[in-house]
């Protein structure tokens, strides 16, 4: 893999730099990385301090954030989802990590307890409040994602937020005091009104929208008829593995869960989880 996260010293010169604003990255004809010293000389409305985030193809990479999109000649802003669809896997891994660090840093500029400005901790990926003596580290929100199966059929649903026509698996955040398995049962029942059993864990994927850790399962249908949760689900249906609708992006864990089950039913080689 060309991307390796690490904590870099921002006092060191050179390297490449990403420019981020609210889940969007600036890019040009050469990609998303800019000469660091050149970018820092531009008139940018920087939101907070610089972050050294790791190495891409052996070169040091740093992250800068602005409080609003800025225009630079020959450049344009693209959302993280657009980069996911258009870029290669290593570039998306780089941008996904950078986006999570950017969200964490932006949300911890001030202490949530006393309002005091937070400071980066030298040599550690942490923000520190001197008044409260607390550290805040990058946040991960555990969530489950599950493909419900019934023989040669899989249950897929769509949200109003999805691309027109696309269906995907069910997902939801783990609540306090809840196991991931309990979350699977609860979310499936809440979102589509059916009960499941025989859960099988298949793998996990960091999902930077904005800072989830997706834990992926297959679950067999047990009972019930589809009753959609109106504020969450626009449509939900059983689909044959021989006749599927438009599906999520190939490097997503949602697509991986679907592709694995289809491969097993049709006797095809199983895919490998991207990442």
Residue 17 assigned to a binding site:
no
Q: What is the fold, at CATH topology level, of the domain defined by 3-107? A: Nucleoside Triphosphate Pyrophosphohydrolase (3.90.79)
Helix (H, G, I), strand (E, B), or coil: what is residue 39?
helix
Q: Radius of gyration (Cα) for the chain, nearest Å? A: 21
DSSP strand E in 82-185: where? 119-120, 127-129, 134-136, 141-150, 153-158, 170-173
Pairwise CA distance, residues 94 & 87, whole Å: 11
Residue 153 assigned to a binding site:
no
Residue 187 assigned to a binding site:
yes
User: What CATH number matches the domain at 141-266, 3.40.640.10, 3.90.79.10, 3.20.20.70, 3.40.190.10?
Assistant: 3.90.79.10
Among 24, 29, 32, 37, which Cα is nearest to 57's?
32
Residue 237 assigned to a binding site:
no
Q: Domain segments of the chain: what residues?
A: 3-107, 109-138, 141-266
pLDDT of 274 reads: 77
pLDDT of 87 reads: 66
Residue 208 assigned to a binding site:
yes
Mean pLDDT of each 10-residue bin along the chain, 275 residues long: 91 96 95 95 88 96 95 94 84 95 93 93 93 93 98 96 94 97 98 98 94 97 96 96 95 95 97 84
Which residues contact residue 4 at a Cβ distance below 8 angstroms, ignoring those fewer than 6 apart?
Answer: 54, 55, 56
């Amino acid at each position: 893999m060309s991307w390796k996260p690490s904590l870099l010293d921002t006092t060191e010169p050179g390297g490449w730099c990403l420019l981020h604003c609210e889940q969007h990255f600036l890019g040009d004809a050469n990609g998303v990385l800019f000469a660091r010293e050149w970018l820092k000389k531009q008139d940018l409305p920087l939101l907070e301090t610089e972050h050294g985030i790791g190495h891409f193809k052996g070169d040091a990479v740093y992250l800068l954030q602005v409080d609003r999109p800025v225009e630079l000649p020959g450049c344009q802003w693209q959302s993280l989802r657009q980069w996911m669809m258009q870029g290669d896997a290593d570039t998306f891994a780089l941008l996904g990590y950078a986006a999570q660090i950017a969200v964490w840093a932006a949300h911890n500029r001030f202490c949530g307890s006393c309002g005091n400005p937070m400071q980066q901790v030298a040599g550690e990926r942490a923000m520190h409040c001197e008044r409260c003596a607390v550290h805040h580290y990058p946040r991960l929100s555990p969530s489950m994602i599950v493909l419900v199966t019934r023989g040669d059929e899989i249950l897929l649903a769509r949200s109003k937020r999805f691309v027109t026509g696309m269906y995907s698996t069910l997902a939801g955040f783990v609540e306090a005091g809840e196991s991931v398995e309990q979350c699977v049962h609860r979310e499936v029942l809440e979102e589509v009104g059916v009960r499941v059993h025989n859960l099988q864990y298949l793998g996990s994927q960091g999902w930077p929208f904005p800072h989830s850790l997706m834990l992926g399962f297959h679950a067999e249908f047990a009972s019930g008829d589809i009753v959609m949760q109106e504020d969450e689900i626009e449509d939900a249906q059983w689909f044959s593995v021989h006749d599927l609708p438009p599906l999520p992006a190939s490097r997503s864990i949602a697509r991986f869960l679907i592709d694995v089950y289809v491969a097993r039913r049709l006797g095809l080689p199983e895919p490998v989880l991207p990442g």
